[in-house]
Amino acid sequence: MTVSNSAIAGAAPQYLTDYSPQDRPWDIHRAQAQQVEGLYQRTVYDQYAGRIRGCTGYLGFAWETDSAGEARLRLKLAHFCRVRHCPVCQWRRSLMWTARLLKALPAIEQAHPTARWIFLTLTVRNCPVRELRDTLRHMNAAWNRLRLRPEFANHVLGWVRTTEVTRGRDNRAHPHFHCLLLMRPGYFAGKNYVRQARWAELWKEVARLDYMPIVDVRAVKNHRGTPGETPLKRAISETLKYAVKPQDLLRSREWLLELTYQVHGLKFVSTGGLLRNVIRENEESDEDLMLLGDDSGAGDPVLFFEWRRAIQRYVKL
């Protein structure tokens, strides 16, 4: 069993982190959610505040034994609000999507053993947050045009594309796409290879920009069969991370409210080709966010923790 130093010293465990130090993100993200709740209160989004208040107030865990023979806690009971900008739900959603893509990889790579991955980031200049919706629609249209270009259409077997919005120092929004592309093996051979400068030119053309945008493209090594963290797993995590950094959500009520209005109903995740429907946005259940795509292992919950708002920690019941 993994316990903290205080528990080892004989102190009776009180907190989730006493039983499982690696579950400290629960305290961190739930405290951030409490702050987002406060920013939504007594606004046009007060209903979101109510939903976030009821999010993951209680957690039920069971013990399971991992591959190394260590006993670890596994979440088996929770209720999620599924508000887009709830930091807890955003975190769990990212983990769930990552787990689903990793689960799908072996079959895809077995069918296409010589295919390779690239990680592509597409940006535009920062925009006022009140213009974010129009900017994202423009970017989505540009993406659809990019998919028709020979450099994309002739070489991409499958793709996952996510939208991230960060906040600039001048309070403007910085929307950008993170794209994980599975490429045909011939893409890296001779004249077929598309260099970073050409990707930037393509994005400028399809986005109909009057400036050269910042574009980053990197080949991703897979290291098939390598245990633990790999470049491909890191690229997947980077692609499927939060849509908006929690720190950006918390800096200003006005910015959060405008952001919420601007992105309402917009899709932030899309897939295509061999990766179509591996991830589907806004279709997750509480069970999906608990089990993260894997329902094997532990049984019924035996340890229960309650969120205590005053101390901002999960406490054992």
Predicted local distance difference test score (pLDDT) of residue 62: 92
pLDDT in tens, 57-100: 999 999 988 777 788 899 999 999 999 999 999 999 999 999 88
For residue 75, give both structure tokens.
Answer: 């979440």
pLDDT in tens, 11-56: 666 999 999 999 999 999 999 999 999 999 999 999 999 999 999 9
Q: What is the mean pLDDT of the chain?
A: 90
For residue 41, give the 3-state DSSP assignment.
Answer: coil
For residue 166, give both structure tokens.
Answer: 């960060």
HSE on the CB side for 177, CA within 13 Å? 30
Q: Is 104 exposed, middle or buried (0-12, 13-18, 19+ CB in 10 A)?
A: middle
pLDDT in tens, 244-262: 999 999 999 999 999 999 9
Residue 38 identity (one-letter amino acid): G
What is the average pLDDT across 172-200? 94
Of 284 and 218, the structure prediction assigns the larger pLDDT to 218
Predicted local distance difference test score (pLDDT) of residue 221: 84
The arrangement of strands across the sheet holding 71-77 comes to 71-77, 58-65, 303-308, 313-316
**For the chain, which residues make up each domain, given as ranges?**
1-92+284-317, 114-283
Angle between helices 132-146 and 253-263 (to 10 degrees): 40
Q: Where are the beta strands (DSSP E) in the chain?
A: 58-65, 71-77, 116-123, 156-167, 173-183, 215-220, 269-273, 303-308, 313-316
Evaluate if residue 267 carries a pLDDT over 50. Answer: yes
Q: Where are the beta strands (DSSP E) in 135-294?
A: 156-167, 173-183, 215-220, 269-273
Evaluate if residue 118 carries a pLDDT over 70. Answer: yes
For residue 198, give the 3-state DSSP assignment.
Answer: helix
Of 304, 302, 284, which Cα lies nearest the Cα of 293?
284
Q: Output the CA–CA distances (angstroms, integers) from residue 159 to 118, 131, 143, 240, in the order listed.
A: 10, 27, 12, 12
Predicted local distance difference test score (pLDDT) of residue 282: 66
pLDDT in tens, 223-232: 665 666 789 9
Evaluate if residue 298 carries a pLDDT over 60. Answer: no
Cβ burial 18-56 (10 Å sphere, 16+ → b, else e): bbbeebeebbebbbbbbebbebbeeeebeebbebbbebb
Of 43, 52, 62, which Cα lies nearest the Cα of 296?
62
Question: The pTM is what?
Answer: 0.89
Residue 76 identity (one-letter amino acid): K
Could you give the CA distance from residue 70 to residue 49 in angstroms, rounded to a whole number?
Answer: 38
